[in-house]
Chains A and B, each alone.
Chain A
C-alpha cells in the first residue's frame, strides 16, 4: 500500500472483514477515497472486488471493521441506512432497470419517492440527465426495448438523479457486447472529468489508464497494491499483480 489518504476521506473502510462460510472474502480491507477521486478496483475473478463495492452501500453486510460515508458510519438496516444509500449511487453489471417502469420513470422514481421532489421538476431534471447520457429520445420506452449499452446509460442517469456524493460501479461493462462498452465508458469518463467521486470495479484497463486517479489491485480478498495507474501498469510491485498483468498483455 503506497498511497495512504487521511483526513477528509469521503468513503472510508477500516479493517473490514467478511466471510462466506469458510471463505474469507474480504481480509482486513483499509481504503480511503477522497472527494473527487476516481478509484479503479481491479483483480482476478473471485478476488472480492465486487463484494467490496457492494459492501460500501451495505448490499453486502460485513463481519467486522467499519465503513463510513462522508464521516457517517454505515447504519444497520432501517430508515437511516436508506437515507445514506440515497447519497451513494450504484451501477450494476446487469443494469437492473425497473422492468415495469418507462425509462423516464426509472430516473424520476427515486427523486419523487425518496427525496419528495415535485413530479414536474423531477421529470425536467431526468430529461436533462437522459440527454446527457445520450438516451433522451428513449424516455417513453420500457427498459427491455433498449440495447444493453443504452440500459446501462439509463442506469447511470438513474443513479445521478439522486445527486449522490459518490458513485459505485460494479463491473458496469461486463455484461455488454464489445461495441457497446465504449458508449458506457465515455459517459463514465465524462463523469470523472466533472469531478464525481467514483469507485469502479472493472476489467477495462483502458478506462483505468484514462480516468483513474488510483488503481487498487485486489487478490484473494486482500488489497495487494494501491497506486497510480502509471505506477501500477508500468511498475507493479507484487508478484501477484505482475502475474495478473502479464496474463492481460499476452491475450
Chain B
C-alpha cells in the first residue's frame, strides 16, 4: 500500500500521458472513422472498396502487430519521428478508426432509407444527404457503441508501454522493478488510474443511453 503513495507523482504523470494518448488518438480515430464510414456508403465503388479493405484489415489485426509496424517498420520506410508517442498515436488511431467506422456505418444503416431518398429528391448532394439528414439521426444510435470503443482505446493505449512510451503502464513496469516487494500493490495502483478514466466513460455511456431512450 505504501508503495502506491510513494509513487503518486509517477502515477499522476503516467495518468496524464495515458489521457493525452487516448484523447489525441480518440479525436483522430473519430474523424478518420467517420470519413471511412462515409466512404463505405458512398456511390463511388473505389471508395467503398478501399474503406472495406482498410476496416477489415485494421480491425482484424492484433494491436501489437500494428504497434510494431508503426514503431519499427514505418521509421525503416523513412517515416521518422522524434518521439515514440507519435508512433503510438498512429497505431492507436489507425486501429481504433476501423472500429469507429463500423459503429458509424451501423448507425447510418439504422436510419430508414426513406430519409436519404427524401433528401436526395429535394436535390441534396451526397455530402449534404449524409451531413444534414443521415448522420445527425445516426448519432443517437452511434454514441453508446462509440463510448465503448473509447473505453477500449484507453485500455489499448497500455500497449504503448511496451513500445518505449512512458505512460501509465510503462510507469507500472518501472515501478514494479523498483518496488519488487510490492508488485501487486503497484499494479493495483495502475489499474486504479485506468479505472479513473474508463469508469466515468462507462457512466457517460449509461447516461447517454437513457437520454436516447427518452428522446425517442
B212 to chain A, nearest CB (A): 12
Given known pairs A85-B123, A110-B124, A114-B123, the reply for A96 and B118 (CB within 8 Å) is: yes
> Complex formed: what's the CA distance from A98 to B112 in Å?
10
Give Cα distance in the complex from A99 to B138, angstroms. Answer: 11
Residue of chain A at shortest CB distance from B140: A100
> Does B1 sit at the interface, judged by CB under 8 A?
no
Query: Which secondary structure characterizes the binding site on chain B?
Result: helix
Closest to B131 in A: A113
Given contacts A98-B133, A100-B137, A158 and B122 within 8 Å (CB-CB): yes
CB–CB A59/B121 < 8 A:
yes
B123 and A82 contact, CB distance less than 8 A? yes
Interface size of B by CB at 8 A reads 19
Say if the beta carbon of B115 comes within 8 Å of chain A: yes
Across the two chains, which residue of chain A brings its CB closest to B116? A96
Asked if B124 and A82 make an inter-chain contact with CB atoms under 8 angstroms apart, the answer reads: yes
- Whether a CB of chain A sits under 8 angstroms from the CB of B136 is yes
Selected A-B contacts with CB under 8 Å, 28 pairs: A77-B126, A82-B120, A82-B124, A83-B123, A85-B123, A86-B122, A86-B123, A87-B123, A88-B121, A89-B121, A90-B117, A92-B117, A92-B118, A94-B114, A96-B115, A98-B115, A99-B115, A99-B137, A100-B133, A100-B137, A110-B122, A113-B128, A113-B132, A115-B123, A155-B118, A158-B122, A159-B122, A162-B123
A contact set with B: CB distance below 8 Å: 57, 59, 77, 79, 82-90, 92, 94, 96-100, 109-110, 113-115, 155, 158-159, 162
